[in-house]
Chains A and B, each alone.
Chain A
Amino acid sequence: KAGVTQTPRYLIKTRGQQVTLSCSPISGHRSVSWYQQTPGQGLQFLFEYFSETQRNKGNFPGRFSGRQFSNSRSEMNVSTLELGDSALYLCASSLALQQETQYFGPGTRLLVL
């Protein structure tokens, strides 16, 4: 069974641009969460989706948005990029809510210049 996949793996953008990151969960998984990892702030929760509904959102500005499609694939978008948005963006999936395992993808490394 294929794991969580994230595309693209690496991305370089300039300030002011926007970016869309994609996450395909493990087949059959319906819960998807996103995290941002930076050296200064560590791992911070961005969004949580289940069956196309956003259940939780972390403390991030409105420039960060996301959605989940009917096939459970999820995208997150960051508009008007800032230098501080440079980070590793990780996606995790689980079969349903409150499961004993959440599986992470390899992440997308975003560099904003």
Chain B
Amino acid sequence: AQKITQTQPGMFVQEKEAVTLDCTYDTSDPSYGLFWYKQPSSGEMIFLIYQGSYDQQNATEGRYSLNFQKARKSANLVISASQLGDSAMYFCAMREDNTDKLIFGTGTRLQVFP
């Protein structure tokens, strides 16, 4: 069965440092997509980055990069040069082939301190 696991309920990082948020997934579908979203206290889900299962290179979007290790079924999010505004909940999600349905992990609460 499809499953997303985020084992870090909370993470702390100092401003300007890099942080890695872990995500592992389980699927038997060879074609799938992996997403990371940020959810500030306002509630809106903000799209950060996407990785397709057949993409050869790790995805990057500005300060966000996705460390995709297909054999280990992991899709960790790396945030470089953390900013105070990065404090939020972060969700990893997976979409299998032929559907737009997203399966979400339980999230990681990131707190950036000065």
Contacts and interface: CB of A to CB of B under 8 A. Distances in A.
Contacts of B52: 100
Given A35-B102, A43-B104, A45-B102, A102 B47 contact: yes
Contact of A48 (B33, B35, B100): B100
A10 B65 CA distance: 34
Interface residues of A, number: 27
Contact of B45 (A45, A56, A58, A92): A92
Interface string B32-75: 01010100001111110010100000000000000000000000
A42 B101 contact: no
Interface in B20-37: 33, 35, 37
Contacts, number: 64
Interface centre among B37, B42, B43, B100 (most CB of A within 10 A): B100
A45 B50 contact: no
B100 A98 contact: yes
Contacts of A102: 35, 47, 100, 102
A50 B37 CA distance: 22
A106 B44 contact: yes
A97 B98 CA distance: 8
B33 to A, nearest CB: 7
B2 to A, nearest CB: 11
Contact of B107 (A42, A101, A103, A109): A42
Nearest to A3: B44
Contacts of A90: 43, 45
Contacts of A100: 33, 50, 52
A11 B9 CA distance: 29
B44 A104 contact: yes
B91 interface: yes
B97 A98 contact: yes
Contacts of B97: 98
A42 B104 contact: yes
Interface centre among B35, B43, B45, B101 (most CB of A within 10 A): B45
Contact of A56 (B43, B46, B101): B101
A48 B44 contact: no
